[in-house]
Structure formats: structure tokens, C-alpha cells
Structure 1
Amino acid sequence: MSETVTTNENAPSSWRFPKTFWFANSMELCERAAYYGFFILITLYLSSVVGFTDIEAGVISGLFSGALYLLPPFMGIIADRIGFRTAMILAFSLLTFGYGMLGVWTTKVSVCLFLCVLVFGAAFIKPLITGTVAKTTNASNRARGFSLFYWTVNIGAFLGKTFIPFIRQEIGLHYVNFFSAAVCAVALIIAILFYHPESGETERKSFGELFRSLGKILINARLMALTIIIAGFWTVQQQLYATMPKYVIRTVGESARPEWIANVNPLVVVICVIFVTQWMRHKKAITSMTIGMFIMPFSAFAMSLGPWLNDAFGSSIMGLHPFTFMLVVGIALQGLAECFISPRFLEYFSLQAPKGEEGVYLGFSHLHSFFSAIFGFFISGFLLDKYCPARETLPAGLSDAEIATYYENAHHIWYYFVGIAAVAGVALVIYTAICRAVDGKKAADPAQTDEAAKPENLP
């Protein structure tokens, strides 16, 4: 039996939501724990367990991650047609099967096939969960509903990466897949037994309409320029998963826990995002994004300072290896930059949408992550191969001192990302100046004024 939710738009704001809302968020928590527990180690798994080179692992991981940012709008159309409940059961069936098989079959061909299974399963989740949150809230509590959803995403990601090191170090890396499969199986049981979403009428779009909207975005020079610039930020952010796990394990040793280091990012975001948003509430979105963009070069530079810190202060800083300590500092700065950039980018992106197409435009608002995932993981593989190679690729019979020479310039990897972040920051300043000049001329001539040139939409 499906639940209904009050539609009284003038009702007082409340933290009370129907059961379907809570079950949907419970499944989201499980899915995020499974995904991030797996994704933080994806390149390690592909290289150490499956046998791909660093370059091959980077290419495969980039395509996998990129597809997850591109496909959700299309899977959302399928979900609307087959029904949310059926789609949710299908999604978690695919995820449970895909993760489980990655732990059983580790040949190169089978792993690529099962990664495709994961892509299609995971691409359902975002439109299903956000759609459920939208359907089970109203104007009086929608902001709180999506705030709870955002917290659920971060808590799930945090918990998944918290438990994974014990499995990887005590049992084995490929058993991480069984953890993810088990967590998705729990979500599947919730979907089968308890998930009964409201079956009200919704506006259904066709694939043709979706492709036309995507085409409009791709030929919108303003939006695509900003998307590519912001992709510079996310290219550096992607190194949390593309480069950092292999970098820290190969330089610090197998005792390193990249999963916990990566958790610094969501922790900083959860703590700081409300304060940053409140502080920047009277500033234009582009101003907030610019501040965040210029934090990023310092983030990447901080991560390169491990060797310097080791020479200056020895092998332990506050109980952490110097390389680990500087990674924590750099990732904390990334989290802070994200607080300035991510929420305001969505706001700015939505303002550029034609009236009535805001939802479709926001569905493709993560194109920057599609581009940055592919580019970021691709270059990561080449940089790791050059500066921080896998131990098994080194010549046999080397002494510890000889092995160390292969890693003495490993920190140079981060200099490339200092450059990418700095170029992106400067590009955003130039973009803002050009947009203001163009929009200023349009605003002065009412006949030429379009939606983007309205005063409230100016950068």
C-alpha cells in the first residue's frame, strides 16, 4: 500500500516524513557505503588483484566513474516508465550481483563486464532516491528533506570507508567487494519488503527530449565554458580516489589507510558547508566559486610537501607519517574548497536554464564530473607509472635503498595538479570578466536582454 504525503504548501515546517522517505534514505546510506567502500580502492583492486597496469586501471576507472555521472538522467526515464519500486529492486539486484561477482571472478574480461553491471545499477539510484525525496516532501519541509538526504549521502560514504581498512588488511583486498555486496543486499531487502512509493502522476520525458536538452547544454558556450573550468577543480578532487590510495601505500607502506585519509573530505564538508554557505549568502555564486578555485592549488601543493616535512621534522608528525599528515592537510583544504564551489555551482547552473527546463538542466549539472573523472583518472595512471610505480613492476633483486630511488620524486605528481588548479582558477576570473562585459552590454539594451543577462543572473 502506497503512502501519501500532505500537499499543504502553507503547513508549518516539520521534521516528520512518511515511512517511504526514511526507507529511501536508508537504502541511499547503504548504497553510498557500498560504493565508496569499493571506489576508494578501485585502482588498487584493478592493479593488485586483477592485474591491470596503472595506466589501464586509470582508463577503466575513469570510464566507470564518468559513466556514473552521465547516465542517471537516462536511467531516470526508465525508472519513470517501469515504476520506482520495480526500478529500485532492479537497481539493488544489479548492484548486489555486480559487487559479489567482482569478488568471485577476477579475470580482466569478467571484471570489465561486472563493472558495467554496477554502472547500470548505480545510475538508477540517484534519480530514484531524489525523486522519492521530492515526492514525499512538500514546500514546507522540502529543504529539510533534501538536507537529510545530503547528510545521509555523506554519512554513508564516511561509514563505508571507515570499515573497509579492516577488511582489506585483515582478510584481503578482493573481500571488500563482498562487503559492498552484503550492504546492497540489505538495501535490496528493504526495497522488497518496505519500499512502497506513492504512484502519483509525474511528467514523463522521452529520450528524444532528453537528448535535445543535452544538445542545448552542449552548444551553450557560457555553460560549457564554466563546466570545463569547474572540471579543473574536480580533476584535482578526483585524485582522492585516482592517485592518493596508491601513492600513500607505495610511499608509506601497506599499513597506510587511504580509506581513513579520504574520510577527511566529507568530514570537513559536513562541518563547514553550513557556515560557508551562511557567510557567502550575500555574495554572487561566481564569487564563492572563485574563492574555492584558488584554494585548490594550495591543496595540491600541500599534498606534495610530505618529503619536505619528513626532512624537517622526522618520520612522525602528531603520530602520522609526514606523507600522511600532508595528505590530510591537502584533503581538508579540498573539502573547504568544495564548500565554496559545489552548492553555488548548482545555483548558477540552474539560473542559466530556460524557463520550464530547470530540472532537465540540473540533471546534467554534473557534466563537469563526467569530464574530470575521465581526464583525472586517465592522467593519474600515467603519472603513477612515471613517478610512483607498483613494486611488482620494479627489477627483481633490488635493495631497499635502490627501491627508494624509484619513489624519491613521487611527490612531483601533485605539482601537475597545482598547475591544473591554478589554470582553472585564472580561467574562472577571465570567464567572469568576459561574462560581465557581454552581459553589461545586453543589460544596457533591453532588446538584447536574455535570461542569463538579467541582473540577478550576472556573475
Structure 2
Amino acid sequence: MEAKIKLKDFPQTFWVANTMEIFERMAWYGFFAVSSLYITGAISEGGLGFSDEDRGVLQGVVTFFLYLFPVVSGALADRYGFKKMLFAAFVILVPAYYFLGVFKTFPTFFLAFMMVAIGAAMFKPVIIGTITKVTNERSSSMGFGIFYMMVNIGGFLGPIVAGIVRAISWDYVFIASAGWIAVNFIFVTLFYKEPTSEAKSANPRSLKKVMTDMVEVLGNGRFFLFVFGLLVILVMGSKFTSDNTITWAQIIYISIGWIVVNVIYDMVLNKMNNANGASWFTSKMKLGDWKFGLFLLLMSGFWTSFNQIFYTLPLYIRDFVDTSDLMMAVKSIFNFFGLSNELFASFSNSMATPGQVNPEYIINLNAGAIILFQVMISYFVTRLKPFTTIFWGTIITVVSLSILVFGTVGWITVAGIVVFSFGEMMASPKSKEYTGKIAPPEKVALYMGYFYWCVALGNLFGGILSGQLYAAFARDMQRPDLMWLIFAIIALASAMLILLYDRLIIKKVK
């Protein structure tokens, strides 16, 4: 009988990596949980005063690149060493978080935000790689379970601190985030030991190898140029629709024009018998594993809806939800423990709006629910197939978004968040497992490396849709219920399309 895994069986580097993860997540979620409130907040109250459309572009584009970069930064870490990459990430992140509170124009704030994304993208693959290298087949399951718990502990604590300090000044939110990252210099310098890495081997993974793998899995350079062009049109169009510089009809025409240009260029290359030119630019577009690419696109629909808990919900709570019922519940708790009315009054007045609960505290119930229930949910879905769990997890997300349609008071909004959390606990972990199931058996690790690209697309689409729909339905029409209904429909459509994908493509191929 195999001995049980004990906490003391994990080496020091495992615990150091998890500790750094807590502080990094405190920094990220301490900012990101209140980012929508800060970006669109009134200048007179310390906010940036940007439009909802600009806010959507900022959040969507930056997080899109955050989830793309690890493919490259992971290769750099393999080549030059994990410890050096962590140190470089912290050197970037500390000033980047600080400058988020200093820069007040769209271009400068975008620059600081992008630097945060670069630093976080350098940090993410190194920590995951460290956990992988210091655990074995016997301990990896428990090791990653502990890691996921640490992620959510950091995600839970960060917004609480941010909510407290923003009552003093928004500046302290960014100083706190920079401070959490600065603490990690102590751990990486004094306690982190380099795990076994390719940096010490004869054949470290090169960037050229990364690009070759990318072509095999997703497509060649021409295909990426085509897709990137469409995304640029989408992003720039979204940015300039707020001041009517461009309309969505014009964006569609430009997109069609870009598609036609690429098709004609491929036809010309074909006639010239130059389908595989000397350079990537003179080669025809080539799609890699179209089945996997389609899966990433369909899963991006789930992440588009999922991300609204951070993009849209804080604004919705601020602008449309009466949370005084939650504050009265807090008062009852104070009375139960015999705490004075003066202490409760002090707590109530510490909120951004006295008598109302801060939005970041309410959405923080998501991280709290995951900390409390993830192990239990994982146990119950162990015997279910990955696809079944993803499908029903997404359906539960649809239910949660439908609850928010009626969420004009605190308790209904809380119900929507809690239900949403259970959907996330089912769908998110199992989507990675499903990726391993649909990948070619000999290339599972390679395909898993690109799983987060569906998260990247979900962040991009989610950010842009959040900005556009909140502006159109919540701000201009005062009908946020229609906005939540649209997000629920997107989640439902994603679930149905993933069902068809599993039935008609994956099972048919197998």
C-alpha cells in the first residue's frame, strides 16, 4: 500500500514558490478587482474618468497579451534559469504597479498596464514550472491542489486590502500592489533554489522551437498575421466607437476588406506556385490542428462570460445594486458578537459609499467560495467525464448570469456570484483535463501549453463586450438586465457549441 503524501514531503522550494504566488495574486487582484471602478471613476474622486469603451479596450487587450506571453517567457525561463526570470519579473512589476497610480492618460496608463502584463506573464510559467519540477507523479496532484488554493487565498486577500486603502486614497491601492511584489524579492533572493531545469542541459528549448511548435498546433506566420489583423481592427474599432470616430458598420466593412485581401493574396501565391515561399510572408496561410483551434475558439465563449465578474459586475454593483440589505446583515453579526454600534457605524462609513458594501468585497465571495468548496466539488466530479463537467459547469454559469438579470439588491447579487463560483469550480479545472484528452497522445504537453490561449481570447472578447454592452445598455439605456441576458446567451451558446463539438468532431474522429 502506497504511503500517503504528507506536507513535509514537499521541498522548501515548493513552499517558497507558493508563498510568492500568494503575494503576486494579492498584487494582481488587489488592483484588478477594483480596476473597472478606478478606470471609469470620476476624476474628482481620484479615478481616471475614462469611458466604458476605453475601459473595455484596456482590460481586454492587456489581459489578452498576459495569457499569450507565457509561451515565449516559459522558453526564456527554460534557457536562462527560473530564478533569473523571477527576479526580472519583479523588477518590472514593482514600478509597473506603482506607475498605474501615477499615469493618468490613456496611452501612459496603457503602457504601465502592459508592463504589468509582461511581468505577470514572466512570473506565471516559472511558478507553474517550479511546482511541476519539484513534485513527482505521486505528489503532483496534491501539489497542484495546494497551489490552486494559494492562488485563491491571494485572490481573496488582495481585494480586501485594496478596499480598505482606497477609502484613504486610490494611490495606496497601487502602492500596496507594488509592495506585495517587493516582498517577493526577499523570497527569491534568500530562499528560492533553482529546480532542475533545461538551462543546465545540452538542449535548452529555443524560441525557434517554440515558433515551430506554434505552427504545428495553430498555424503559420501568415495565419497569425491574418488573425492578428482582425483583432487589431476589432480593438481599434472598439476604442473609437465611443466618440463616433468610427461605426460598427465601418468596422465590419474593414474586416471584410482584410479577409478579401488575404484570400486574393493566397490565390496569387497559388498561381505563382509559391504556396510554400522562402519566407513566412510569401507563404500561403496554413492552419495547424483545426480541431484544437476550434476548441480554443469555442472555450473562449465561456471565458468571455466568466470574466464579467471582474470586468462588469463591480460597475453594476456600484451603479445599480442597493446593498443596504447586506449592510444590515453585517450589523446583525456585529450585534450577535456584542460589538458596539459605534464600531459598526465606523465600518459602514469606511465604505466608498456609506451604508453600502464595496463592490470588491461582494465579488470577493467568488474567491472565498472556491477556497471553501473547491476540494468538495473536485471530489464529486472525479468520476464524471471532463466534457460532462465542462458542459454542466457552463450551464450553471448561465443560471448565475440569469440571476444577475434580477440582481438589484445585495442578496440576489450574492446568490448570482455563489452560483457562478460553483460553475467555475466545475468547468475551469476540467477544461484543462479535456484539452489533454483531445490532444494527440504523444503531444499532450505541447497542446497543454496553448490551452491558455482560449483564456486570452476570452479576456479580449470579454473586455471589449463589457465596455460596449455596459455603455449601450447600462449607461445609455439604463437596462443592465439586457446586458446580463446577452452574457447568459453567450454562455449558453458556448455550452451548446461545445456539446456539438464533442459529439460531431471529437467522437466522430475517434
State the TM bucket, normalised to the shorter chain.
0.7 to 0.9
Are 1:364 and 2:461 counterparts? no
Q: CA deviation at 1:437?
A: 5.5
Q: CA deviation at 1:55?
A: 0.2
Query: Aligned-pair distance for 1:220?
Result: 2.1
Shift of 1:199: 4.8
In structure 2, which of residues 31, 34, 37 is the aligned counterpart of residue 38 of structure 1?
Answer: 31
Aligned with residue 158 of structure 2, among 157, 160, 164: 160
Q: Give, in angstroms, the shift of residue 209 of structure 1.
A: 2.2
Q: What is the 5 A alignment of 1:5-404?
A: 13-16=5-8, 17-48=10-41, 49-168=47-166, 170-200=167-197, 201=200, 204-218=204-218, 219-252=288-321, 254-255=352-353, 256-307=357-408, 322=409, 324-389=410-475
Question: Secondary structure of the equivalent of 1:364?
Answer: coil
Q: Check 1:209–1:357 CA distance in 2 against 1; reply closer, same or farther (3 A cut).
A: farther
Q: Structure 1 residues 12, 272: CA separation in 2 closer, same or farther (over 3 Å shift)?
A: closer
Offset of residue 81 of structure 1: 2.0
The farther-off stretch of 258-267 and 151-160 is 258-267
Distance 1:97 1:52, change over 3 A: same
Deviation at 1:11, TM superposition (A): 7.5
Q: CA deviation at 1:388?
A: 2.8
Deviation at 1:355, TM superposition (A): 4.1
Q: Which one of the candidate residues 404, 415, 418 is aligned to 2:488?
A: 418
Paired-residue identity, %: 31
Displacement after TM superposition at 1:408 (Å):
4.2
Deviations 1:233-276 (A, max 9, x none): 21111001111111111224743422122222222223333333
- Matched residue of 1:306: which SS? coil
Q: Does the Cα contact within 8 Å between 2:79 and 2:206 map onto a contact in 1?
A: no
For 1:94 and 1:355, the matched residues in 2 are separated by 38
Consecutive unaligned residues of structure 1, counting only runs of 5 or more, are 1-9, 308-321, 390-405, 440-452, 454-459
Q: Which letter does structure 1 place at the counterpart of 2:403? A: A
1:257-305 CA deviation, whole Å, 9 max, x = no partner? 2212222222222333333332232222111111112112211110110
> Which residue of the partner structure matches residue 395 of structure 1?
none
CA distance in 2, matches of 1:52, 1:289: 36
Aligned to 2:234: none
Shift of 1:106: 2.4
Q: How far, CA to CA, are the matches of 2:59 and 2:481 in structure 1?
A: 22
Shift of 1:338: 1.5
Q: Secondary structure at the match of 1:205?
A: coil
Whole-angstrom CA distance in 1 between matches of 2:14 and 2:378: 26
Following the alignment from structure 2 to structure 1, what is the Cα–Cα distance between the partners of residues 384 and 14? Answer: 33
The separation in 2 between residues aligned to 1:12 and 1:387, in whole angstroms, is 54
Residues 351 and 306 of structure 1: is their aligned pair in 2 closer, same or farther, counting only changes over 3 Å?
A: closer
Query: 2:205 corresponds to which letter in structure 1?
Result: K
- Distance of 1:82 and 1:304 partners within structure 2: 50
Q: What are the superposed Cα offsets for residues 179-209 of structure 1, whole Å, 9 maximum, x if unpaired?
A: 1001111112221222222355466322222
Counterparts of 1:377 and 1:179, CA distance in 2 = 25
Change (3 A) 1:199 1:274: closer
Aligned to 2:252: none
**What is the CA-CA distance between 1:407 and the residue it aligns to?**
6.9
| Partners of 2:436 and 2:444 within 8 A in 1 | yes
1:300–1:417 CA contact under 8 A, matched in 2 = yes
Measure, in 1, the Cα distance between the counterparts of 2:133 and 2:502. 37
| 2:7 aligned counterpart, secondary structure | coil
**One-letter amino acid of the structure 2 residue matched with residue 243 of structure 1:** T
Structure 1 position 45, deviation (Å): 2.2
CA distance in 1, matches of 2:14, 2:289: 36
Q: CA deviation at 1:178?
A: 0.8
Contact 1:12 1:140 in 2 (8 A): no
**Aligned mates of 1:436, 1:386 — CA distance in 2:** 38
The verdict on how the C-alpha distance between 1:436 and 1:210 changes in structure 2, with shifts beyond 3 A counting, is: closer
Residues 387-423 of structure 1: CA deviation (Å, up to 9, x unaligned): 333xxxxxxxxxxxxxxxx674223210111111121
Measure how far apart 1:68 and its partner are: 1.1
- Is the CA contact (8 Å cut-off) linking 2:401 and 2:416 kept in structure 1? yes
Provide TM-score, normalisation by structure 2: 0.74
Counterpart secondary structure, 1:433: helix
Gap change, CA 1:160 and 1:407, over 3 Å in 2: farther
User: How many pairs align?
Assistant: 399
CA distance in 1, matches of 2:383, 2:3: 28
Q: Distance in 1 between matches of 2:301 and 2:91?
A: 35
Aligned residues of 1:14 and 1:141 also touching (Cα < 8 A): no
Q: How many Å separate the matches in 1 of 2:289 and 2:366?
A: 32
Distance 1:430 1:179, change over 3 A: same
CA distance in 1, matches of 2:211, 2:413: 41
Partner of 1:314: none
Distance 2:150 2:33 in 1: 18
8 Å CA contact 1:34–1:179 kept in 2: the answer is yes
